[in-house]
Amino acid sequence: MTGFIVFAHGSRVESANQAVREVAAQMAASGEHTVEPAFLELGQPDLQGAVQRLSAAGVSHIIVIPYFLTLGTHLQRDLPRLVEEAAASFGGNVRMEVTSPLDGHPALLEALLDRASHALAGGRHPA
């Protein structure tokens, strides 16, 4: 079975972490996917904790989706190390892979244009 991790940086502002948890929950509710949020720092669960939850649910293939806009140091250096460590801790019983960050996805342009259009109309989108 395949599961997904929505992997974010994490924040001292708990409402920001909760927003990531809600996105993961919405992703899970939109289909037949098992989805967990995870945070690099300043939020729970961390990647290892999310992998443990998915493994306990019977997941043996995990796809990590970085909830980051661009490929920076955390995605080039930290995430590969964390994924390797998490996979190794399950003795090869969990296969993990990582997708690209959100940069370049066509929906981002749509979101920016929507925000601009709404701002020009004098409104503000709720955060």
pLDDT value at residue 37: 98
**What one-character-per-residue DSSP string does 5-67 give?**
EEEE---SSHHHHHHHHHHHHHHHHTTT-EEEEEESSSSSSBHHHHHHHHHHTT--EEEEEE-
- Confidence label for 127 from pLDDT (cuts 50, 70 and 90): low
- Confidence label for 125 from pLDDT (cuts 50, 70 and 90): low
| 125, two tokens | 């989108």
- Kindly list the structural domains of the chain, giving each domain's residue range(s) and its CATH number in brackets, ordered by start: 2-102 (3.40.50.1400)
pLDDT 10s digits, 73-115 = 898 999 999 999 999 998 888 999 999 999 989 999 999 999 9
pLDDT 10s digits, 4-37 = 999 999 999 999 999 999 999 999 999 889 999 9
